[in-house]
Amino acid sequence: MSRNEEFKEILQKRLTEKRYIHSLNVAESARELAKQYGADEEKAFTAGLIHDSCKDTPAGLQLSYMLENGVELSDIEINTPKLYHAMCGKVFAQKEFGIEDEDLLNSIRYHTTGRKSMSLLEKVVFIADFISAERDYNGVEIMREKAARSLDEAIVEGLGFTIKDLVDRERVVHPDTIDAYNDAVSKIQTGEIK
């Protein structure tokens, strides 16, 4: 059995059916984006598959798992349980799935917040999560069009969407998300990326 097949068996037990389907779809989208933009297709598929592996685990268990494994959390991170699953997912991928590839681990770690100077793989996973087949939020078609045209334009759109949504709901915006947004916008403005 391939590694991905093993991961699927584990995920099917850990996740709700809805989230499991989302994970399969993000894996497919990530592989397609990787193919289009020249990232590693295998890594992208695996990262997409396991990116939400902790998301259906109760927040308290995620937190204790992270603390047991030496994850250092900022005050904002401790106070924002919605962010746990990305950080928890990275540790889970290392410990339970035996993944050592730093870039793959970072693509899980930063799939929710983004961060400054994201790698190609990090961008692919971040965007795949927005455009996976089952997504039907208002604006998903614009995201899909942008993703087809320019990964970096899609990153700006996705981060902007995230920030607007959080502000609308008066939720905390993680500094990494602001950094990621400023970084992506200024790189496009200076023509460093298109």
Question: Least distance (Å) from Fe ion to the CB of residue 192?
Answer: 28
Question: Least distance (Å) from Fe ion to the CB of residue 21?
Answer: 11
Binding mask 63-102 for Fe ion (x = CB under 5 A): ----------------------------------------
129 binds Fe ion (CB under 5 A): yes
Cα–Cα distance, 46 to 3 (Å, whole number): 9
Please state the separation of Cα 19 from the chain's center in Å: 14
**Contacts to Fe ion from residues 28-67, by CB under 5 A:** 52
* Residue 45, number of CB atoms within 10 A of its CB: 21
Which one, 22 or 188, has the nearer CB to Fe ion? 22
Question: Least distance (Å) from Fe ion to the CB of residue 108?
Answer: 9
Q: Which residues of 145-172 are buried (b: 16+ CB within 10 A; e: fewer)?
A: ebbeebbbbbbbbbbebbbeebeeeeee
Which one, 169 or 191, has the nearer CB to Fe ion? 169
Which one, 135 or 192, has the nearer CB to Fe ion? 135
Number of residues that bind Fe ion (CB under 5 A): 2
Q: Which residues of 53-87 are buried (b: 16+ CB within 10 A; e: fewer)?
A: bbbebeeeebbebbeeeebeeeeebeebeebbbbb
- Pick the stretch among 2-10, 32-40, 127-135, 164-172 that binds Fe ion (CB under 5 A): 127-135
Which one, 52 or 77, has the nearer CB to Fe ion? 52
**Cβ 36 vs Cβ 44: under 8 Å:** no
Binding site for Fe ion (CB under 5 A): 52, 129
